[in-house]
Amino acid sequence: MAFQKNMVDEQHSEGTFVHVPNPHLEKMKSDILYHFALGTGTHDFPALFGDVKFVCVGGSPSRMKAFITYMAEELGIGGPGSDYPNICAGTDRYAMYKAGPVLSVSHGMGIPSIAIMLHELIKLLYHSKCSNVTIFRIGTSGGIGLPPGSVVITKQSVDAMFKPQFEQIILGKSVFRNTNLNEKLAEDLMECAKELDQFNTVIGNTMCTLDFYEGQARLDGAICSYTEKDKLQYLQEAYKAGVRNIEMESSVFAAMCNLSGLSGAVVCVTLLNRLEGDQITTPHDILKEYQTRPQKLVGHLIKKYLGKQ
Amino acid sequence: MAFQKNMVDEQHSEGTFVHVPNPHLEKMKSDILYHFALGTGTHDFPALFGDVKFVCVGGSPSRMKAFITYMAEELGIGGPGSDYPNICAGTDRYAMYKAGPVLSVSHGMGIPSIAIMLHELIKLLYHSKCSNVTIFRIGTSGGIGLPPGSVVITKQSVDAMFKPQFEQIILGKSVFRNTNLNEKLAEDLMECAKELDQFNTVIGNTMCTLDFYEGQARLDGAICSYTEKDKLQYLQEAYKAGVRNIEMESSVFAAMCNLSGLSGAVVCVTLLNRLEGDQITTPHDILKEYQTRPQKLVGHLIKKYLGKQ
């Protein structure tokens, strides 16, 4: 395919381009990224996004806006009080912000929601001819056996049976994809955590579930058919399998990074220790501080990579 | 269980209460609905929500705000230009609006996102002692073999293998749940469509997928390993199985309605005919009008049920 040949040529001359394993795309005259309200026919992607080197994604739109403001300050981009407009203002599905080489995008909650965003994001980076892009998911999670506020850098994302795989259903059939994350990037982040020395940080496995209540063995949903003993046994088994936190997006994130050649990392703070409870009762201001921890860690790494630290 | 006995007593005297099949809830002193930023310890649920009879849920927060404004006007609640504040303003996970007996809640995209919302919504209705509640999902979808702009009232929600079931993983094991929807409610909605006579409306099966691109046989995602022929064959098979549209939330919606005793209906407009393409190229203003169609249909039914039509 001419499309793949170009990719290889470009990789040799200018670095690693984003890989889009879809031969149909080259036949399309234009591409509408519907859930971003952006399109190649209406927007100049290379001009808008060609300089992007770091993408940070997270569930909440307001947290991703806070992240871009924080990063701009840290990188000395724009003056104090600068505003960063939402690039996806034409839709309320996702929010997107940019400051210099950093793009910040919200993804909502759960695998399907982040998957839609990642399909369109990977195409956006491809159409923009971006190279050497590193992507981070910064988020919140439930911890297992860790004090609340700990940060977990994901080694492998595992499913509800603790297997490092993501099940993608294609034309009604299951396909299993690898969910390993970039080891070097995880180690670099751990190094940053040591340099910052502000909060407990570990590298561990992250369980990725399709549900927050029954899927994570919570006792406080609208529906529950198991006992507290069953719950604790399941979470203890997860701990023995190396799981240190539970969230709802990492598996498809890892799988899609692997398929598109993006270096990816997942950095989540734990809001509670699930061995001790299910409800998130920590006061709002403490939770808010917890949520800045993945931002600080990723921000520190970005500054280091850009030679600003 | 005392909890279940009360439910039965109450049902006899005052109508059908929301059923919460979780014996652990009665042991909890208070309940924090984390993703709504509401809690029984901080909010008077019966005072705030006790009169709710109809709940309408949909993906987009702005569409759910538009719906409550429309419903308030239709029901003659509040003056023209009345504003309906977001009840979940303390979070950006979901948005919630209320006008008289109608509650309107956003749920984001995908099964995990709507499931979190439904767990908390069902508990909200339970804590508020609501009775005889009917719930509607109004949304957008891809149609199969229907002209764009058609409205599909879901008979059964089926999975990617066209089976009427929802797979819930509990403690690492699969449990399959029924995804039938209330037949009488679907027929009442069809009757309303005939009365309105403004757009094509059908009752059909709805395929609910975990993914918008590969999961719905699209050729325009970042990743695609099948041919156009494979795609069309799959969609034709879906059509033969009675599938008329594809979306990403109906299966868990139906399953949770069944478990909590809520009468539920799914009403989605089709934005395109998937046998003819994958990209949503219809102009913005036409799409916007399409999106009002499920609102009009559900609004008409609510008015009829309240004796205002």
Q: Which pLDDT does position B80 carry in this prediction?
A: 75
What is the C-alpha to C-alpha distance for residues B132 and B134, in angstroms, rounded to an integer? 7
Work out the number of other CB atoms within 10 angstroms of the CB of residue B79.
8
- Please, how many CA atoms are within 13 Å of residue B200, restricted to the half-sphere of its CB? 11
For A110, which of B61, B110, B280 is closest by C-beta distance? B110
For B211, which of A109, A112, A221 is closest by C-beta distance? A112
* A3 assigned to some structural domain: no
- Please, how many CA atoms are within 13 Å of residue B304, restricted to the half-sphere of its CB? 15
Which of these, A63, A61, A52, lies nearest to A294 by C-alpha position?
Answer: A63
A290 three-class SS: helix
**pLDDT exceeding 90 applies to what percent of chain B?**
91
Question: Which of the 8 DSSP states describes residue A273?
Answer: E
Contact B221 A22 (CB under 8 A): yes
The β-bridge partners of B204 are: B154
Contact A223 B60 (CB under 8 A): no
A162 three-class SS: coil
Q: Which of B171, B243, B251 to mutate against chain A (most A CBs within 10 Å)?
A: B171
Cα B19-B21-B22 angle, rounded to 5 deg = 130
* A300 assigned to some structural domain: yes
- Six token digits for residue B44: 């008077």
- Which residues between 256 and 285 in chain B have a beta carbon less than 8 angstroms from any beta carbon of chain A? 256, 259-260, 279-281
Burial of A93-115, coded b for 16+ CB within 10 Å and e otherwise, reads: bbbbbbbbbbbbbbbbbbbbbbb
Q: Looking at the complex, report in whole angstroms how far the Cα of residue B132 sits from the nearest Cα belonging to chain A.
A: 18
pLDDT in tens, chain A (309 residues): 333 433 333 334 457 899 999 999 999 999 999 999 999 999 999 999 999 999 999 999 999 999 999 999 999 998 777 889 999 999 999 999 999 999 999 999 999 999 999 999 999 999 999 999 999 999 999 999 999 999 999 999 999 999 999 999 999 999 999 999 999 999 999 999 999 999 999 999 999 999 999 999 999 999 999 999 999 999 999 999 999 999 999 999 999 999 999 999 999 999 999 999 999 999 999 999 999 999 999 999 999 999 986
Give the chain A residue whose CA is nearest to the CA of B159. A172
CATH number of the domain residue B282 falls in: 3.40.50.1580
The β-bridge partners of B165 are: B178
List chain B residues with CB under 8 Å of A223. Answer: 20-22, 119, 256, 259-260
Work out the number of other CB atoms within 10 angstroms of the CB of residue B225.
13
Chain position carrying tokens 């990723």: A298
* A211 assigned to some structural domain: yes
Question: CB–CB of B145/B199 below 8 Å?
Answer: no
Measured between its terminal Cα atoms, the distance across chain A in Å is 42
Burial of B121-157, coded b for 16+ CB within 10 Å and e otherwise, reads: bbbbbbbbebbebbbbbbbbbbbbbbebbbbbbbbbb
Contact B171 A217 (CB under 8 A): yes
Q: Looking at the complex, report in whole angstroms how far the Cα of residue B222 sits from the nearest Cα belonging to chain A.
A: 5
Dihedral of alpha carbons B67, B70, B75, B78, sign: positive
The β-bridge partners of A277 are: none
B165 three-class SS: strand
* A2 assigned to some structural domain: no
Question: CB–CB of B92/A291 below 8 Å?
Answer: no
Helix (H) or strand (E) run with residue B13 in it: helix B2-14
Question: CB–CB of B73/B24 below 8 Å?
Answer: no
Determine the structural domain holding residue A154 and report its residue range.
10-305
What is the crossing angle of helices A111-127 and A250-260, to 10°?
A: 20
Which of these, B166, B155, B165, lies nearest to B243 by C-alpha position?
Answer: B155
What is the C-alpha to C-alpha distance for residues A167 and A177, in angstroms, rounded to an integer? 6
- Which residues between 130 and 159 in chain A have a beta carbon less than 8 angstroms from any beta carbon of chain B? none
For A223, which of B21, B61, B162 is closest by C-beta distance? B21
* B3 assigned to some structural domain: no
A265 three-class SS: strand
Question: CB–CB of A107/A113 below 8 Å?
Answer: yes
For A169, which of B62, B210, B279 is closest by C-beta distance? B210
Q: Looking at the complex, report in whole angstroms how far the Cα of residue B212 sits from the nearest Cα belonging to chain A.
A: 6
SS3 string, A110-121, reads: CHHHHHHHHHHH
What is the C-alpha to C-alpha distance for residues A268 and A196, in angstroms, rounded to an integer? 16
Measured between its terminal Cα atoms, the distance across chain B in Å is 42
* A5 assigned to some structural domain: no
- Six token digits for residue B258: 């069944």
Number of domains chain B is built from: 1
Work out the number of other CB atoms within 10 angstroms of the CB of residue B214.
24
User: What is the mean pLDDT for each group of 10 consecutive residues in chain B (309 residues)?
Assistant: 38 71 96 97 98 98 96 89 93 97 98 98 98 97 98 98 98 98 98 98 98 98 98 98 98 98 97 97 94 98 91
Chain CA centroid to CA A80, Å? 27
Question: CB–CB of A189/A264 below 8 Å?
Answer: no
Contact A113 B115 (CB under 8 A): no
Contact A219 B168 (CB under 8 A): no
Contact A112 B116 (CB under 8 A): no
Residues 6 or more apart whose CB falls under 8 angstroms from that of B60 comprise A92, A93, B106
Contact A21 B213 (CB under 8 A): no
Helix (H) or strand (E) run with residue A68 in it: helix A61-75
Question: CB–CB of B270/B142 below 8 Å?
Answer: yes
* A1 assigned to some structural domain: no
Question: CB–CB of A293/A151 below 8 Å?
Answer: yes
Question: CB–CB of A25/B220 below 8 Å?
Answer: yes
Give the chain A residue whose CA is nearest to the CA of B225. A22
ipTM associated with this complex:
0.94
Question: CB–CB of A107/A57 below 8 Å?
Answer: yes
Question: CB–CB of B74/B299 below 8 Å?
Answer: yes
* B258 assigned to some structural domain: yes
Give the chain A residue whose CA is nearest to the CA of B110. A112
Q: Which pLDDT does position A9 carry in this prediction?
A: 39
Which of these, A302, A301, A305, A280, lies nearest to A291 by C-alpha position?
Answer: A280
Work out the number of other CB atoms within 10 angstroms of the CB of residue A85.
10
